[in-house]
Amino acid sequence: MLFTITSGTISSIFAVLFVLLTTSAICCLSAGIRSNIRCLETQKNALLQFKQGLVDNSNVLGSWESEKDCCQWRGIACSNQTGHVTMLDLYYNSSDIYNLETPLSGVIAPSLLELRYLNYLDLSFNNFEGKIPDFIGSLSQLKQLKLAGASLSGPVPPQLGNLSHLYTLDLAHNFVTFENLEWLSHLSSLKYLNMSSLNFSKVVNWPHSISKLPSLVELQLSSCSLPNVDLRSLSFVNSSTSLEVLELSDNFLNSSIFYWMANISTSLVHIGLMGDQLQGLIPDVFSNMVSLTSLDLSYNQLEGGIPKSFRNLCRLESLNLWENKLSDKLQDSIENLSCAQDTLESLRLSGNPFWGPFPDNLTRFSSLKELYIDGTNMSGPLPKSFQELYQLRSLSLVLNQFSGPLPDFTGLSSLRQLFLSKNQLTGSLPENIGQLSSLEFLDISVNSLNGVLTEVHFLNLSRLQFLDVSYNPLSFNLSPYWNPSFQLYSLDMSSCNVGPDFPKWIQTQRKLTALGMSNAEISGSVPNEFWDLSSNLLELNLSMNQIHGKFPNLSSKNCTFFTIDLTSNQFSGPLPPFPSNISNVFLSKNMFSGSLSSLCATQAPELYNLDLSENLLSGELPDCWMQYQALHSLNLAKNNFSGKVPSSLGPLTYVVLLRLHDNNLSGELPPSLKNCTELRVVDLGANKLSGNIPAWMGPSLTNLLVLRLRSNEFYGSIPLSLCSLPALHVLDLSRIIYLEPCHIAFLI
Ligand SMILES: *[C@@H]1O[C@H](CO)[C@@H](O)[C@H](O)[C@H]1NC(C)=O
Ligand SMILES: *[C@@H]1O[C@H](CO)[C@@H](O)[C@H](O)[C@H]1NC(C)=O
Ligand SMILES: *[C@@H]1O[C@H](CO)[C@@H](O)[C@H](O)[C@H]1NC(C)=O
Ligand SMILES: *[C@@H]1O[C@H](CO)[C@@H](O)[C@H](O)[C@H]1NC(C)=O
Ligand SMILES: *[C@@H]1O[C@H](CO)[C@@H](O)[C@H](O)[C@H]1NC(C)=O
Ligand SMILES: *[C@@H]1O[C@H](CO)[C@@H](O)[C@H](O)[C@H]1NC(C)=O
Ligand SMILES: *[C@@H]1O[C@H](CO)[C@@H](O)[C@H](O)[C@H]1NC(C)=O
Ligand SMILES: *[C@@H]1O[C@H](CO)[C@@H](O)[C@H](O)[C@H]1NC(C)=O
Ligand SMILES: *[C@@H]1O[C@H](CO)[C@@H](O)[C@H](O)[C@H]1NC(C)=O
């Protein structure tokens, strides 16, 4: 039978064809568009099961909804060809202070095994419980496995050794354990290995296992309790051509490690051995380390100098020898670095007994950005100029015996930090220091610099934040209306000749947190505007001047004071309430008068030191000391306080030092004092205290070193319990006329 094709059937065939053509076209087109590759149902279900095992308090996995394509979920990536999940990245960013999410916790469910094509798994810095799951060793396509800081514990499963494609393994900062590294040596593709802070103390011959990794590029094993290398067992090192970064800081390694390194040498770019137990001379094993750019040997006990083999290190950019016992003439050591004179950017030599003059060969290192030579035995003059080191950002020469005039710093347009304190520098501060327009920190304190500082010295220092010129015989010629271009955080002009007026320009410094002007020959008063602007001040030290006037009520202002020291001035008038949260108040040797009643108006639960001695304060002591629970030291001596010793001192369980001597206090000592068991020094001499010397002192105040009760009106006998004060060094009971003589054998 023949088909009779009607126009109707033709059009319907065409319609079908058309539909087929267009849908296939769409489907073929979409194959190239990543977003239209949908994830596989089995893998989506596996991920949803994984999610169920997690505790997700901040809904990190909010996008993991079953009706959505799992390739679009947070932390997931799929192959754009097959749709298989290839990446699971739920790394928790703990270093971002703006991260409001909490880390995931719970268990890592075995359903992940369904993600057979996973090549990237990162769960770092979450908060999992339990072991590293064995099944991870079966995710055979894994190339990168990152589980750092994920609170994992228990033994590392040896199955991880099956991950033959792995090139990144990061297990650092967990509580996991392992007996040996046999499993590790199977990871033949491994390039990046981080096991920092894991405990290697029981691992025998760790260098052997590491040596078997032929592709290793970076090895991070800081704080691993790495045991020492036994040189006899060291075998040929297969990673000798690949290893670039070797970080072994904060272990127990001795100098034998140098010989191991010598054999993996040509490729090494960074070596970190900070805080190990390296002793003796630095061995001369660096000849082959031609690629080395960064070497950190700080915080060891290395002796001698920089060895000759450093002459082959022509790419060195950073050398850190901080805190060793290197005692070479520095000039000679620097000579062995000469091949790096165009590359070296950071040189840290502080805390070694290097000696000799400032090495003149050092100024040839034209790339230097940081130079730290603090706390050595070096002396003599500094170079006339640092012009050749025009890239310097930090120069620190603190605590040496450098003498003579300051160098010429012109041309150091990048200099941010200049620390020259604690030397014997003399002469004046050159005016061109004011041209160092990048300067942020300037410390020339504790020298013998003299002369007059003017506005020119600060002309272009608009970035200055920290200025310390203290302990120099310097004077200032600064207009009170000076408006400096900088905003300082910290200013110290102690023991300089600042006065006689309080420098008004300081009021322009609205960010100031610390101001030191002790012993600065100031005899005026502190302008009220200064106190108004003091809202950022944490530390104020105006001691040892002749400043007069009243001390304002700062408690009503929004102050952040931590320490105020106005000792030895002529402040007068009544004591205002203290700012709340203040910790240290030193107001002794002034002329404050009136009563202490303002004390009860403040809540200062952090007050640690209170010294009001040698003022003209009078009246009864207030009975609100429980508001000052943190008090360690209370000195009210040499005033004219009268009445009883208040019983509210009893709750001050941390008080160590109590001085109330030279007042007019009377009556008996309150028994509550026996709670102040931390007391070491109690001086109540020269008052009118009466009653028996309390017997509870012996058994209660067992930490007492000094007890002075002299010149009072106590009566009765000396309690024998004072003999049970095991630490007592000074007991002064003189001039107590009513005291009965007694068996004072224990006083011997
Ligand atoms: C798949 O993705 C890779 C890497 O993103 C890309 O290089 C490749 O061209 C993509 N292939 C297709 C078919 O889109
Ligand atoms: C994986 O590792 C374990 C333990 O190391 C081993 O017994 C097992 O045979 C390995 N599996 C495969 C597939 O290689
Ligand atoms: C070093 O590698 C070679 C070839 O890749 C291999 O035969 C040898 O066993 C390896 N040595 C060690 C100690 O792993
Ligand atoms: C380092 O320690 C190992 C093992 O305790 C010891 O054999 C070696 O002599 C030590 N080397 C040095 C230089 O102290
Ligand atoms: C490097 O290894 C070889 C072979 O084990 C050894 O003979 C040599 O002494 C080592 N070199 C150094 C500097 O330790
Ligand atoms: C220094 O400051 C002065 C006055 O503010 C200005 O004219 C000059 O350009 C500045 N110089 C540099 C090097 O910044
Ligand atoms: C204030 O400065 C003087 C002299 O520099 C110093 O002795 C004292 O300890 C300083 N006060 C405080 C609280 O640091
Ligand atoms: C005092 O400290 C508390 C807690 O440290 C803080 O909340 C409060 O704001 C502080 N008060 C002042 C006035 O700084
Ligand atoms: C001390 O206070 C008493 C009253 O308690 C008073 O009579 C005496 O004058 C005051 N002494 C001084 C030196 O202020």
Share of the chain above pLDDT 90, in %: 67
- Indicate the DSSP class of residue 204: T
Q: Whose CA is nearest to atom 10 of ligand 1?
A: 80
Q: Whose CA is nearest to atom 1 of ligand 8?
A: 581
Q: Ligand 1 pocket test: which of 80, 84, 87 has the largest number of ligand atoms within 8 Å of its C-beta?
A: 80
State the pLDDT confidence band at 161, using cuts at 50, 70 and 90: very high
Q: Ligand 3 pocket test: which of 190, 211, 215, 238 has the largest number of ligand atoms within 8 Å of its C-beta?
A: 238
Position in ligand 2 atom list of the atom nearest CA 140: 13
Calpha distance 577→554 (Å, rounded) = 7
Calpha distance 493→491 (Å, rounded) = 7
Residue 3: partners with Cβ closer than 8 Å, 6 or more residues away = none
pTM: 0.83
CA distance to 187, 256, 258, per residue, from 236 (Å): 18, 16, 15
Q: Whose CA is nearest to atom 14 of ligand 2?
A: 162
pLDDT at 362: 94
- pLDDT surpasses 80 at 694: yes
Q: How confident is the model over 4-46, as pLDDT tens digits?
A: 444 444 444 444 434 443 433 333 333 334 456 678 899 999 9
Q: How far is the CA of 72 from the centre of ligand 1 (A)?
A: 16
Position in ligand 9 atom list of the atom nearest CA 642: 5
pLDDT at 233: 63
Position in ligand 8 atom list of the atom nearest CA 560: 14
Find where tokens 């679009």 sit: 72
pLDDT at 99: 82
Q: Whose CA is nearest to atom 1 of ligand 5?
A: 263
Nearest CA-CA partner of 430 in 447, 408, 415: 408
Q: How confident is the model over 623-654, as pLDDT tens digits?
A: 989 888 899 999 999 999 999 999 999 888 89
Calpha distance 131→139 (Å, rounded) = 16
Calpha distance 499→481 (Å, rounded) = 15
Q: How confident is the model over 79-96, as pLDDT tens digits?
A: 988 899 999 999 998 888
- Give the residue, 605 or 145, on which the prediction is more confident: 145
Judge whether 296 and 271 are in contact, CB under 8 Å.
yes
pLDDT at 235: 57
What mean pLDDT, rounded, does the chain reach?
88
> In the predicted model, what is the mean pLDDT of residues 484-501?
94
- Indicate the DSSP class of residue 580: T
pLDDT at 743: 47
Calpha distance 89→740 (Å, rounded) = 83
Which numbered ligand comes closest to the C-alpha of 235?
Answer: 5
Max distance between CA atoms of the chain, in angstroms, equals 146
Helical H runs in 146-268? 206-211, 256-262
Q: How far is the CA of 32 from the centre of ligand 1 (A)?
A: 8
pLDDT at 534: 66
- Give the residue, 60 or 613, on which the prediction is more confident: 613
- pLDDT surpasses 50 at 746: no
State the pLDDT confidence band at 179, using cuts at 50, 70 and 90: confident
Coil vs helix vs strand at 505: helix
pLDDT at 32: 38
Find where tokens 């120099």 sit: 472
Judge whether 561 and 586 are in contact, CB under 8 Å.
no
Q: Ligand 6 pocket test: which of 412, 435, 439, 459 has the largest number of ligand atoms within 8 Å of its C-beta?
A: 459
Which numbered ligand comes closest to the C-alpha of 253?
Answer: 4
Find where tokens 């999940």 sit: 85
Domain boundaries, the chain: 191-277
Q: How far is the CA of 641 from the centre of ligand 9 (A)?
A: 8
Number of C-alpha atoms within 13 angstroms, CB side, residue 463?
12
- Give the residue, 559 or 183, on which the prediction is more confident: 183
Radius of gyration from C-alpha coordinates of the chain: 37
Q: How far is the CA of 263 from the centre of ligand 5 (A)?
A: 6
> In the predicted model, what is the mean pLDDT of residues 111-121?
94
Calpha distance 597→639 (Å, rounded) = 15
